[in-house]
Structure 1
Amino acid sequence: MTNVVGYARVSKRDQNPAAQEAELRAAGASRVFVDQGESSRIADRPQWRACLDYLREGDTLLVRRLDRLGGTERIIIETLHDLDRRGVNIRSLTEPMIDTTTPMGRALFGMVAVFAQLRVDTIRENTMRGLAHAKAQGRVGGRPPKMTPEKIAQARRMRAESHSLDHIAAVLSVGKSTVARALAKAEADAADMRNNSHG
C-alpha cells in the first residue's frame, strides 16, 4: 500500500497550521510534517528537509496546494523535478490535475510542469534581454545612482573649498561613504583623462 506523507506550511508564527494538517490527515496522510513561520522563498526549511529525508520511492507527497512547497515557480519546479527523479508521487488537495498517482494525472502534471518551466525561462530571457538593452543604452539594472553628475560636480567644488565630507554629504542628502566613493572615482577618471591627453 502506498505510504502517503503530508506537508503543511504557514508563513507566520502566529498562523495556525492545524487546519492544513487536519485536511491532509483526513485525505489519508499517515504522517504530516509542518513548518511554521518559515518563508516560502527559502527551500531549506527544517520540516521540509525532514520530509524529504523521510520520503521513499513509491511514496506519495500530499499537500493542500503546490504553493506550500515554495513561494517561487523556480523552487516549485525544481522540487517537482527532484521528487519525480526520486520516484515520489505528488498529489494536491485543491488542484485535481496535480496527482501523479494516476496515468491521467501524471500526463496533466507533465503538461503543467512544461508550461511552468516555459514561463520561468521566458521571464528569465526577457529579464536578460532588458538588462542587455539597458546596458547598450548606457544604463545598468537596479536603483538609479544617488550621485548624479550635477551632485558630483558640486561635491568637487565644495571639496576644493575645503568643506568636510560630512558637510558635503549633509548638503547633498547622501551618505558620507557615497560622497567619498564618488569623489575618488571622479578623481581617478580625471587622472585617466590627463594621462590619455599626454599620451
Structure 2
Amino acid sequence: MATVFYARVSTKDQTIEHQRTQAEAAGFKIDRVVADHGVSGISTCLADRPEGKRLFDILRKGDTLVVRWVDRLGRNYSDVCDTIREFMRRGVVIRTVINGLTFDGATKDPMQQAVRDALIAFMAATAQANAEAIKEAQRGGIALAKANEAETKYRGRKPSFTRDQLSTVCNLLDMSAGVGEIAATTGLSRQTIYRIRDDRASAEAALANWAA
C-alpha cells in the first residue's frame, strides 16, 4: 500500500515543493509524487491532465492519495465529485493536508455514507466557488492596477505573498478558518492576512502590478 502525493500548479510562482513540504509537515509519509505544471483546475479535468491521468493507472486498492486540498484535484464541481467517488470505488483513500479530511468507501452505513457524500459535494462546490471568486478578484485587481498605472508608474511595495499563498488564504477564509490558523498554514503574518481579508481586489492588484 503506497501513499501518493498529487500536486498541481497553474502559475509560475507556485511550486510543487511548497505543497510537498506542507504535506510532510502535517505528518504524511510520501512514497511517490505525481505533479502537473501549468495546468488549470477549472478547464482541465484530472483525467485529461498529463500526470493526473496517471493516478488512475497507478493507484490500487489500499493506497492513499494525498492532496493539499480538493482544489488540487480540480475546481469543477462535477469533476471533483466524480473523481473522488471513482477513487473510493476502487478502494483508494483520499486525504487532504488542509483540514485533515479523509474520504474512503469503507463504510457501509447509509447514514455515514450520506454524511460523507454531502461533505464531498460541499467541498467540491467550495472549490469551484473559490475559483470563481478568485477569478473575479483577479479581474478587479487587474482593472485597479491598470487604473493606477494610468496615474503613476510607481508599482508600490512588492507583495509579501505569492499567488499560491493568496489562493490558500482565500480558500481558508471562505471556510471560516481563523487568522492564526491561516498564518500557520501559509507562513504569512497576521497583518498580511487581515489586509487580504479586508480587500482581496487590492491584493490581486498588488500581484498584477508586479506581474506576479
User: How has the CA–CA distance of structure 1 residues 54 and 24 changed in structure 2, closer, same or farther, with 3 Å as cutoff?
Assistant: farther
Q: Which of 97, 109, 127 is equivalent to 2:116? A: 109
Paired position in structure 2 for 1:171: none
Q: Distance in 2 between matches of 1:67 and 1:109?
A: 17
Q: Which of 50, 74, 80 is equivalent to 1:76? A: 80
Count how many residue pairs are aligned between Structure 1 and Structure 2.
Answer: 117
Q: Is the Cα–Cα contact under 8 Å of residues 59 and 88 in structure 1 kept in the other structure?
A: yes
Q: Is the Cα–Cα contact under 8 Å of residues 8 and 64 in structure 1 kept in the other structure?
A: yes
2:117 partner letter: G
2:72 partner letter: R
Listed as ranges, the gaps of 5+ residues in structure 2 are 127-212
Q: How does 1:39-188 map to 2 (within 5 A)?
A: 39-41=40-42, 42-43=44-45, 44-100=48-104, 108-113=115-120
Q: Is 1:22 matched up with 2:29?
A: no
* Offset, 1:111: 3.3
User: How has the CA–CA distance of structure 1 residues 92 and 102 changed in structure 2, closer, same or farther, with 3 Å as cutoff?
Assistant: farther
Q: Is 1:4 matched up with 2:8?
A: no
Which structure has the higher relative contact order (CA within 8 Å, separation 6+)? 2
* Offset, 1:12: 1.5
Q: Is the Cα–Cα contact under 8 Å of residues 5 and 61 in structure 1 kept in the other structure?
A: yes
* SS at structure 1 position matched to 2:6: strand
Name the larger-Rg structure: 1
Tell which deviates more after alignment, 18-27 or 94-103: 94-103
Q: Is the Cα–Cα contact under 8 Å of residues 25 and 32 in structure 1 kept in the other structure?
A: no
Q: Distance in 2 between matches of 1:87 and 1:4?
A: 13
Listed as ranges, the gaps of 5+ residues in structure 1 are 121-199
Give the TM-score normalised by structure 2: 0.48
* Offset, 1:3: 1.4
Q: Is the Cα–Cα contact under 8 Å of residues 88 and 105 in structure 2 kept in the other structure?
A: no
* Offset, 1:68: 0.3
For the aligned residues, what is the CA RMSD? 2.9
